[in-house]
Chain A
Amino acid sequence: GQNIDQPTEMTATEGAIVQINCTYQTSGFNGLFWYQQHAGEAPTFLSYNVLDGLEEKGRFSSFLSRSKGYSYLLLKELQMKDSASYLCAGGYNKLIFGAGTRLAVHP
């Protein structure tokens, strides 16, 4: 079967660092994606990990361990505009999404 788990909600303070975890049990995943989705808007691509390890892209980094079925998204120097849902997804052709983690950034 295919299952993706991530925390439902997180809160953090502006300027801080937050790590959003994602665990998955599935077969046939070619890699792990992270998408950001602001309320009422479409998901936008943040990162894609196909190999184990850390991928850094500006304030956002993503990590993947395929043997452990584990990924995380690291957001540094948090800004108010980072308040959004963060979706973990895996797949080869179609994407299987987790339910998303709603992040609230407070001043």
Chain B
Amino acid sequence: DTGVSQNPRHKITKRGQNVTFRCDPISEHNRLYWYRQTLGQGPEFLTYFQNEAQLEKSRLLSDRFSAERPKGSFSTLEIQRTEQGDSAMYLCASSLVTSGDYEQYFGPGTRLTVT
């Protein structure tokens, strides 16, 4: 397994457009997380799934953001009506939740620029 992958790696879009990002976790991992990171800051939690169930969403996640993990494998994050403030690196991570194992493995991220 080559780790967590994300596509696209870069996305430039105009304000008001919709964008969708994809994350493929490590194959046996049952948890998948989305974070957002801006320059000079640590990642901020957005949402996470256990299998196909979305268990928590951050209050940072406005109604314009939606995430799915339909079959408990890959996940998509959609941003509708993008705003310049949405420009950031969107990171996906996955983990296998077993007794005593909480490490999250991060993908390379999708860098979004909203012009």
Contact = CB atoms under 8 A, between A and B. Distances in A.
Interface of A: 4, 30-31, 33, 35, 41-45, 48, 50, 87, 89, 91-100
Interface in B9-59: 31, 33, 35, 40-45, 48, 55-56, 58
A99 B45 contact: no
A44 B4 CA distance: 12
B106 interface: yes
The secondary-structure label for the interface of chain B is loop
Interface of B: 4, 31, 33, 35, 40-45, 48, 55-56, 58, 91, 100, 102-109
Contacts of A35: 106
Given A43-B106, A95-B33, A100-B42, 14 more contacts: A31-B102, A42-B4, A42-B91, A42-B106, A43-B91, A44-B106, A50-B100, A87-B42, A93-B48, A93-B56, A94-B45, A97-B42, A97-B43, A99-B42
B103 A43 contact: no
Nearest to B104: A95
Contacts, number: 54
Nearest to B46: A94
Given A42-B91, A93-B48, A94-B48, A30 B42 contact: no
Nearest to A50: B100
A95 B43 contact: yes
27 contacts: A30-B102, A33-B103, A42-B4, A42-B91, A42-B108, A42-B109, A43-B43, A43-B91, A43-B106, A44-B106, A45-B103, A45-B105, A48-B103, A87-B42, A89-B42, A91-B45, A92-B102, A93-B31, A93-B56, A94-B56, A94-B58, A95-B45, A95-B104, A96-B45, A99-B40, A99-B41, A100-B42
